[in-house]
Structure 1
Amino acid sequence: MAGTGSIRPRLQVLGDFQACCGGEPLHVPHAGQRVLACLAVLHRHRPARRTSVAERLWPDAPPGRSTSTLRSVLWRLPRPRGRTLVRGNATTIELHEDVEVDLWESERVAAGVCGDGRPAGAVPDLLTLEDDLLPDWDEEWLVMERESFRQLRLHALERVAAESCDRGRFTDALSAGLCAVRSEPLRESAHRTVIAVHLAEGNFAEALRQYDGYRRLLADELGLPPSPAIDRMVGPLLDRPADVR
Structure 2
Amino acid sequence: MAQRPRGDRDAAERQAKRSTPRDRTAGAPSEGPEARVRIAVLGGFDLWVGDEPAEIPLSSGRLLAFVALCSRAAVPRALIAGTLWPDAPDRCAHANLRSALSRLRETGKQALDIGASEVRLARGAAVDFQHARSLAHRILDPAQNGKHDPGIATVEALAADLLPGWYDDWAQLEAERWRQLRLHALESLADTFTAAGRYAEAVAAARTAVHADPLRESSRICLVRAHLAEGNPSEALHDFNDYAQRLGAELGLLPTERLRELVAGLCTTVAPR
User: Aligned partners of 1:7 and 1:168: how far apart in 2?
Assistant: 37
Matched with 2:133 is 107
Among candidates 196, 203, 215, match of residue 167 of structure 1: 196
Q: What TM-score, normalized by structure 1, do the two folds share?
A: 0.90
Q: Where has structure 1 moved over 3 Å in runs of 4 or more?
A: 4-7
Matched with 1:65 is 92
User: Aligned partners of 1:7 and 1:208: how far apart in 2?
Assistant: 47
Name structure 2 gaps, 5 residues minimum. Answer: 1-31
Among candidates 88, 107, 110, match of residue 84 of structure 1: 110
User: Aligned partners of 1:37 and 1:227: how far apart in 2?
Assistant: 39
Among candidates 58, 71, 77, match of residue 50 of structure 1: 77
1:25 and 2:25 correspond: no
Cα deviation, 1:36-83, whole Å, max 9, x if unaligned, reads 111112x22111111111111112222122112211211221434x97
User: Aligned partners of 1:171 and 1:32: how far apart in 2?
Assistant: 42
Aligned alpha-carbon RMSD (Å): 1.9
User: Aligned partners of 1:217 and 1:5: how far apart in 2?
Assistant: 41
How far the C-alpha of 1:5 sits from its partner, in A, is: 4.9
Matched with 1:146 is 175
User: Aligned partners of 1:126 and 1:79: how far apart in 2?
Assistant: 36
Which of 1 and 2 has greater Rg?
Answer: 1
Name structure 1 gaps, 5 residues minimum. Answer: 241-245
How far the C-alpha of 1:144 sits from its partner, in A, is: 2.2
User: Aligned partners of 1:165 and 1:79: how far apart in 2?
Assistant: 49
User: Aligned partners of 1:182 and 1:122: how far apart in 2?
Assistant: 20
User: Aligned partners of 2:257 and 2:34: how far apart in 1?
Assistant: 51
Matched with 1:222 is 251
Q: Which amino acid aligns with 1:68?
A: A
User: Aligned partners of 2:90 and 2:58: how far apart in 1?
Assistant: 21
- Contact kept? 1:6, 1:22, Cα under 8 Å: no
How far the C-alpha of 1:6 sits from its partner, in A, is: 3.3
Matches within 5 A, 1:180-219: 180-219=209-248
1:127 and 2:153 correspond: no
Matched with 1:243 is none
Give the match's secondary structure for 2:167. Answer: coil
- Contact kept? 1:126, 1:176, Cα under 8 Å: yes
Identity %: 35
User: Aligned partners of 2:150 and 2:160: how far apart in 1?
Assistant: 21
- Contact kept? 2:43, 2:164, Cα under 8 Å: yes
Q: What TM-score, normalized by structure 2, do the two folds share?
A: 0.81
User: Relative contact order: is structure 1 or structure 2 higher (C-alpha 8 Å, sep ≥ 6)?
Assistant: 2
User: Aligned partners of 1:205 and 1:127: how far apart in 2?
Assistant: 26
How far the C-alpha of 1:140 sits from its partner, in A, is: 0.9
Q: How many residues in Structure 1 have an aligned counterpart in Structure 2?
A: 235
